[in-house]
Every structure is written in structure tokens, then in C-alpha cells.
Structure 1
Amino acid sequence: MKRGLLIIISGPSGVGKGTIRSYFMQDESLCLAYSTSMTTRKPRVGEVDGKDYFFTTRDQFEKAMEAGELLEWAEFVGNYYGTPLREVERLRNEGKNVLLEIEVQGATQVREKCPDALSIFIVPPNMEELEKRIRGRRSEPEEIVQQRLAKAAGEMKMAKDYKYVICNDDPQLAADMIKLIIKKHMHA
């Protein structure tokens, strides 16, 4: 059995990574498995532990970091986010193409550890649209919104480090482009 691909989808907060993913995740021809990240942040309304994230304590997260149990991790606006390594390896060894939807700092770590990873960076049509999307969530105080916008400006400069850059002007079109990229690499 052929080992599955490791696919990184990254980009600034609010760019629409989750929306794009929802358009292609169920496409059985892609043989995808979503890697659920671990985080110390509190769940947003509707998020389910073990599905959207593994919600954990700061102490538990730091123990996982020290034990080398994370493929990548980052701290952002006071919370840790990371990818459990064991689950990623299990899925890839089963022939699944593992999708990591992670932020830029974590993506850099994964690309260093796994040079064969397929990296895709999602950009907004412009920064005004990104701000509109972040504010449209209405889930965070103004201070956090400002931190996300400032971080996004720096992250946009890192797009050049990815194999592919996709503009999310139309989520369905962006999803279709990502599907084509994955299929190309599946048959390489």
C-alpha cells in the first residue's frame, strides 16, 4: 500500500481555510483524513471536542510537547495549537492523505520535518476582505481581532515558502483548484 500524502493548508486567520476544506473533504476520490489539532483555547459555539479540535489544558499540552508527541505546535494569542504526531503517522501508513489545516508557524515546522509535504497557502483577495471575514465571526474581542490582523499581515509574506498559493475569492473555485493539486500529487 502506498503511503499517504501529508497536505498542509495554511494561511492567515479568517482567510476561509475551513470553508474551502468543507467543499472537498468528503470527496472519496481524494482519500482524505483530516488531522484534528489539539488546542488550549476554549471551544467556539458549535465546536465539538475530538472533531473540530482536541481541547486540552495548558499543562497537558506542554507535557505532549516535552514528550515529542506533536508534529508541530505554536502559541497564538495566549493559546497553544498543535498536531498529534501518532495519529498523522497512523493515517498515512493506512494510505490516507492526511490534511493539516494549520497556521503558518506550525506549517514551517512540518515542512522542515517532512520535506515531502504538499504545502498550499490560502490568501484573501485583499486585506480589507480578510478584516471583514474576521470581524464577521463576532466571536472575539477587538483586541484579539487586531492581533489576528497584525499577524496576518506578516504571514502573507510567507506565502512564497509554499509550493502552491491559492486566492480565496470564491471558496468553491479555490476548493476545486486544491482538489486538482491533490490528485496530481496522488498520481505522481
Structure 2
Amino acid sequence: MTDTGARRGLLIIVSSPSGAGKSTLSRRLREWDPSIRFSVSATTRAPRSGEEDGREYYFRSRDTFQEMVRNGDMLEHAEVFGNLYGSPRGPVEDAMHEGCDTLFDIDWQGGQQIRNSSLGKDVVSIFILPPSMVELERRLRDRGQDSAEVIDGRMQKSLAEVSHWAEYDYVLVNEDVDQCTEELKTILTAERLRRDRQPWLNEFVRKLNAEYEAQ
């Protein structure tokens, strides 16, 4: 039996406009492979009732967060409604060294920062498109969570997000969630099997050569 050894973990970035199915697809991907870790963000906002540090978020003071940014300990970060959010580097690097993939549910700006980081060569980026803007708006309205004004704002933001589709390695149209899930699995399987992500191959081929020469 071939000992394939450990591979280096991947950083899987999945982005989409709100309502295109990113959260559902990310959940299904982790159900398919429970070894995939979800990147837990750090934030300066106060914990809400029932939230635990390290589960929903890493809750940090603004000074601590900014120090992490200065020290290069954040892969990406942004300020949203007065609070800072970002992806800590440490847990991601730990997962990579253990051969585990990390899944990021972030927007195009966060994805761009990670792709431009020192870990960029380990990134697999996937953008999820809706089948149409009409369908996207229908999904947002069917949620029954937002007012018409909020939905209009989300639709305007969606147009801006869609404009960045060409920056991603893969682009999927989520017309059928089952089919899109299978396409995600195919992408991840192929990326894991890339030659440069199989560190055991050099030694395996060396042994093949030695076996031939010994005959």
C-alpha cells in the first residue's frame, strides 16, 4: 500500500452576493468532509448573549486587534459599522501544517487580501453566482428577514460584488444547489491532487527508480 504522507492544507475562499447560497454550500462542503475547518474571525464588537470566545468569534479589544494587524497576525481585516473584523493567521497555519483545509466565508475584499498574503499560493478561490438577479432578489425576499429598503441595499451591493467574479480561480452558477455542491467537491478533490500539493511524490518516484535499477 502506498504511503502518501501528509499534504499541506488549503485555504478555501468562497464568496458570493448575499442570497446566492454561499452559507448553504459551505455547510454542505463541511458535511462532506468534516476535516475541513471553518475560519473563526476575530472582532472588536462585544459578545452577544450565548456567544463564546473562539466559537462564534475571537473577541478582542481594539488595541489588541490593531496590534495583531501591525504584527502581521491577521490574514485579512476590515472595519464594518465601527467594529473591526479579521481572520487570525495562527489557527489557519496550524491547520495547514496538520494537512487540514480551512474554509473562509468572506467577501471579495477579504479574499483579495488573503490571495495577496504570504499564504496566497495555498489559496483556492471560488465565486458563487446566482442564476439571475431576479432570482437573487426573490431569495432575499423569501427569507422574510429584511425590509424592502434593506433588500434594495443588498441588491445594489450584490452588483458591486459580482463585478469581481473574474478575480477568482473558479466561478459557479448556483442554479441547482445539489449540482453546485457536487461541483464544489470536484474542485476541492482536484486541487488536493495537484502535483505540487503531493509532497510524497518525489520520494515515491525515487523509490520507483531505485526498484528498477535493482532488477
Query: Which TM-score bucket, shorter chain as reference?
Result: 0.7 to 0.9
Describe the superposition over 1:47-77 as per-residue Cα deviations: whole angstroms up to 9, x where unpaired: 7764344455655544433343210112345
Indicate the SS of the match to 1:8. strand
Q: Distance in 2 between matches of 1:54 and 1:125?
A: 35
Residue 148 (structure 1) aligned to one of 132, 143, 154 = 154
Pairwise CA distance, 1:105: 0.5
Q: CA deviation at 1:102?
A: 0.9
Between the aligned partners of 1:133 and 1:45, the Cα distance in structure 2 is: 28
CA contact (8 A) 1:44 1:139 kept: no
Per the alignment, residue 133 of structure 1 pairs with 139
| 1:14 aligned residue | 19
Would the aligned equivalents of 1:23 and 1:172 in 2 still touch at CA under 8 Å? no
Normalising by structure 1, what TM-score? Answer: 0.83
Q: How many residues align?
A: 187
Residues 58, 167 of structure 1: CA spacing in aligned structure 2 closer, same or farther, 3 A cutoff?
farther
Unaligned regions of 5+ residues in structure 2, if any? 1-5, 195-215
Give the equivalent residue in structure 2 for 1:157. 163
Q: Report the Cα distance in structure 1 between the residues aligned to 2:86 and 2:168, rounded to whole angstroms.
A: 19
- Correspondence for 2:123: 117
Counterpart position of 1:25: 30
Separation in 1, partners of 2:42, 2:95: 17
Identity score, percent: 40
Superposed CA RMSD in Å reads 2.8
Q: Are 1:121 and 1:159, in contact at CA under 8 Å, matched by a contact in 2?
A: yes
Contact 1:10 1:101 in 2 (8 A): yes
Whether the aligned pair in 2 keeps the contact of 1:11 and 1:123 (CA below 8 Å) is yes
Bigger CA drift: 173-182 or 33-42? 33-42
Contact 1:121 1:166 in 2 (8 A): yes
> Taking structure 1 as reference, are residues 142 and 64 closer, same or farther at Cα in structure 2, changes over 3 Å only?
farther
Q: Which whole-Å CA distance do the structure 2 matches of 1:27 and 1:168 have between them?
A: 18
TM-score (norm 2): 0.73
More strand by proportion, 1 or 2?
Answer: 1
Mapped pair 1:34 → 2:38:
yes
Secondary structure at 2:121 match in 1: coil
In structure 1, list runs of 5 or more residues that go unmatched: none
Measure the CA separation in 1 of the matches of 2:83 and 2:148: 17
Measured in 2, the distance between the counterparts of 1:62 and 1:118 equals 27
C-alpha separation in 2, matches of 1:146 and 1:47: 30
The match for 1:98 is 102
